[in-house]
Amino acid sequence: MNRPANPKSRRIIAQTPSHTGIIREETVALRQLLGYGRSTEASLRLNVPELGTNLPGSSMRDVLLVGLDVDTFQGYGELIPDQQLHVGISILDTRRLHELLVSSSCEGELATAMDSYQLTIGSSGYCRRARNNFLFGQSKSAASISELKSELEHLVEGRDIILVFHGANSDLKMLRHLNIDLRPLYIIDTNKAAQYPLQLWYRYGLEKLLDVLEIPYALLHASGNDARFCLQALLMLAVKDAEMSQPGATADDALLRLLEGISQAPRPSTRGEIQAALAPARLAAKEVKAASAARRKQRRAARKERRRLEREGREDVAEESDTEEPNNSGG
């Protein structure tokens, strides 16, 4: 017997927006940059321009994928005299990606495929926390906005770049205030790039996106970490996109497993995790030290007792001598 449809199910279906899971320009650009997948009628309609040149012997483009994040607690609407901020930048060179693809890369190489940096301006507790929380190296303090600009431009100098953000508007606004123009060929927002691979109709926060993509993360809101995890998320979105658009295809398997390995590589331990891991060893060392101190105390007590007994023995002998002396003189 046919059962009537659940009214709640009909409401859920009716409420699903028409733009759920549509393919965006960012996804088509990602396919072009990393050289996977094939053109479809939907992707051709988007008319994404040719981005850069191909790497020799590869279907990938010769570019730097640059994850970038700007963080400030003072708002993004304008630049104020004592602006406190930190900027994170992570770079994946497709030349390096190609090298890993044609070689037998190990897990250690995957974890170091990207280069990550963090620069801070300001001496507030806000900036100090960001410096302490950066997981991928030593955070650097910039003395001025001009130094910050110079450092960022130097990192991408002489290469075609693709900027990658998670929610680009605020970051781009602050970069304009800072007069920093890295001249990207294209800008990818992972909010938009996630829509087709994950079949979304609303935007995930970075934390939610990392959870769904099973990317190990910690200490978000330090810009260097956010930039790194955002770029890792982009690589995993490429994997999900390929699995969605060409299920069962094997032509790009090696590339996709490489992207998956880089994006889901174990992250560095936080300071708290390092301290927790060291705690048992420190406790054991403390117990050894306490036991050693107790043994020294026991030895001192034993020596003291031995000296006391020796002293008492000498005193007894002296008393016996004093007692016997009158008898000897009377004979």
Token pair in block for residue 285:
């060392």
Spell out a b/e string for 288-315, using b for 16 or more CB atoms within 10 Å of the CB, else e.
eeeeeeeeeeeeeeeeeeeeeeeeeeee
Torsion, Cα of 175, 177, 181, 182 (10° steps): -20
Q: How far is CA 269 from the centre of its chain?
A: 9
Closest-CA residue to 165 (of 101, 290, 70, 298): 70
Phi-psi region of 173 (alpha: psi -120 to 50; beta: other; left: phi over 0): alpha
**Strand pairing class (140-141; 115-121):** parallel
Say whether pTM exceeds 0.85.
Answer: no
The answer to whether the beta carbons of residues 240 and 254 sit under 8 Å apart is: no
Element housing 239 (H / E): helix 223-245
Which residue's structure tokens are 């560095």?
268
Instruction: Give the position of tokens 């303090």.
Output: 141
Task: Give the model's pLDDT for residue 3.
Answer: 53
Q: Is the pLDDT of residue 330 over 90?
A: no
In degrees and rounded to multiples of 5, residue 73 shows phi and psi of -95, 0
Q: Render pLDDT for 237-293 as a digit per residue (tens, 0 to 9).
A: 999 999 988 777 677 899 999 999 999 999 999 988 888 878 677 777 777 888 888
Q: What is the pLDDT of residue 331?
A: 46
d(CA 121, CA 86): 6
For residue range 73-91, list pLDDT tens digits in order. Answer: 999 988 888 999 999 999 9
- Mapped onto helix, strand or coil, the DSSP state of residue 118 is strand
Read off the pLDDT of residues 282-316 as tens digits, 9 standing for 90 and up.
777 777 888 888 888 888 888 888 888 888 788 77
Domain ranges of the chain: 17-268, 269-325
- Token pair 């050693």: residue: 292
CATH 1.10.1060 fits 17-268, yes or no: no
Alpha-carbon distance 133 to 139, whole Å? 9
**Dist. CA 192–CA 201, nearest whole Å:** 10
Q: Is the pLDDT of residue 43 over 80?
A: no
Which tokens sit at 232? 């890792």
108: closest CA among 274, 262, 250?
262
16's tokens: 């699903």
